[in-house]
Structure 1
Amino acid sequence: MRWEEVCENKNLQNLPFKIELNKWGQIVMSPVKIKHSFYQGRIQRLLESLLSTGEVMPECAINTSDGVKVADVVWCSEERFAQIEDEISASIAPEICIEVKSSGNSLEEIEFKQKLYLEAKAIEVWLCNEQGEMKFYNEQGELEQSLLVPDFPKQIKR
């Protein structure tokens, strides 16, 4: 299945799951809990308050070497947004791709997505665990803090 078909399929609309495709075009669905949505929303609002340029977006579909993955939150520069805004799924990853771990995700799965986003030209990948702790990564590995948004907190508070 192609991403365009997923987006247009009426049977896949309004499902309470995050939908992605693997490299074979198979649908992968992940249910999310309230805490996942809370962290996703809080991260989006924090990014919007700390950055004055670019676009912050939830649920961004990104082409990767393992099919289309959907980052929970992304930040995209104005230049990169102009490149992808009319695409069905991003041909190049936004500069910051953020995943919020939920109980349905294994750590290996999240780390795999991290590598996929970096391969797709993300500059940083951030991971938020189920306690709201943030970790920041780039091509060189784990960072002490984000280099692109150095004031972003290491802990998302309720």
Structure 2
Amino acid sequence: MSSRHSEALVVPAATAEIVHLPHGGAFHLLADAVDTGGEVSANRLTLGTGADGAAPHYHALSSELFYVLAGTAEFFLDGTLTTAPAGSLVVVPPGMAHAFGAAPGSTTDLLIVLAPGTQRFEYFRQLGRIQHGHADFDSLLPEQQRYDVHFLPATPWRRSGTHP
């Protein structure tokens, strides 16, 4: 599990690694578990108009917090579709199936925090490669335990289908 981290972490926006996505969005990698003694991991995700953010999945060990900074997001939460406008907070407990993306006709900007944290920066880099067509989604399947991202195959959640 995690050990108590005794130092503050400050990540200026200009120092965050950015993984660009083809729909005009990006992952902003803010804090990996190694940076916080395993307490949390955090990223900011911007999504283009109507873009999917994640295929249906669950986390066995961590809760995932989403704060909608701008735009409107859609969340698939244990089978229910929920719309979350700017200023909304969504907390998904361990084990709950979920997916998310920008609502149709909207972009969205999300702050995402996983607690306890998991080393996931390489996961986000791989998602970027997948979205750009440089890797296959199946490349993530053997890594589900490592990243605590357990995909739910054949679980459609939006009219547009699912994308990682």
> Which has a greater percent of helix?
1
TM-score by length of 1: 0.32
TM-score computed with the length of structure 2 as normaliser: 0.31
User: Normalized per residue, which structure has more strand?
Assistant: 2
